[in-house]
A and B are shown apart, each in its own frame.
Chain A
Amino acid sequence: GAGVSQSPSNKVTEKGKDVELRCDPISGHTALYWYRQSLGQGLEFLIYFQGNSAPDKSGLPSDRFSAERTGGSVSTLTIQRTQQEDSAVYLCASSLGGGPGDIQYFGAGTRLSVL
Chain B
Amino acid sequence: EDQVTQSPEALRLQEGESSSLNCSYTVSGLRGLFWYRQDPGKGPEFLFTLYSAGEEKEKERLKATLTKKESFLHITAPKPEDSATYLCAVQAGFQKLVFGTGTRLLVSP
User: Do A and B interact with each other, yes or no?
Assistant: yes
Q: Is there contact, CB below 8 Å, between A42 and B4? A: yes
Q: Is there contact, CB below 8 Å, between B43 and A45? A: no
Binds B, one of A62-70, A71-79, A105-113: A105-113
Q: Is there contact, CB below 8 Å, between A42 and B101? A: yes
Binds A, one of B57-65, B69-77, B89-97: B89-97
- Residues in B whose Cβ lies below 8 Å from that of A1: none
Q: Is there contact, CB below 8 Å, between B95 and A42? A: no
Q: Look across to chain A and name the residue whose beta carbon is closest to the beta carbon of B102.
A: A42
> How many of A's residues come within 8 Å of B, CB to CB?
30
Q: Is there contact, CB below 8 Å, between B31 and A42? A: no
Please report the C-alpha to C-alpha distance between residue A40 and residue B99 in the assembled complex, in whole angstroms: 12
Q: Which of A33, A43, A44, A108 has the most CB of B within 10 A?
A: A43
> How many of B's residues come within 8 Å of A, CB to CB?
25
Known: A33-B95, A48-B94, A56-B94. A4 touches B43 (CB 8 A): yes
From residue A56, how far is it (CB to closest CB) to chain B in Å?
6
Residue from A44, A95, A109 within 8 A of B43 (CB atoms): A109
* Interface membership of chain A positions 74-115, coded 1 if the CB is closer than 8 angstroms to chain B and 0 otherwise: 000000000000000001010100111111111111000000
Instruction: Kindly identify, within residues 32 to 74 of chain B, every residue whose CB is under 8 Å from any CB belonging to chain A.
Output: 32, 34, 36, 41-46, 49, 51
Query: What is the interface of chain B, defined by CB distance below 8 A to chain A?
Result: 4, 31-32, 34, 36, 41-46, 49, 51, 87, 89, 91, 94-102
Q: Sort A-B residue pairs by CB-CB distance and give the 6 closest, nearest first.
A: A106-B43, A100-B31, A42-B99, A45-B96, A101-B32, A43-B99
Query: What is the interface of chain A, defined by CB distance below 8 A to chain B?
Result: 4, 31, 33, 35, 40-45, 48, 50, 56, 58-59, 91, 93, 95, 98-109
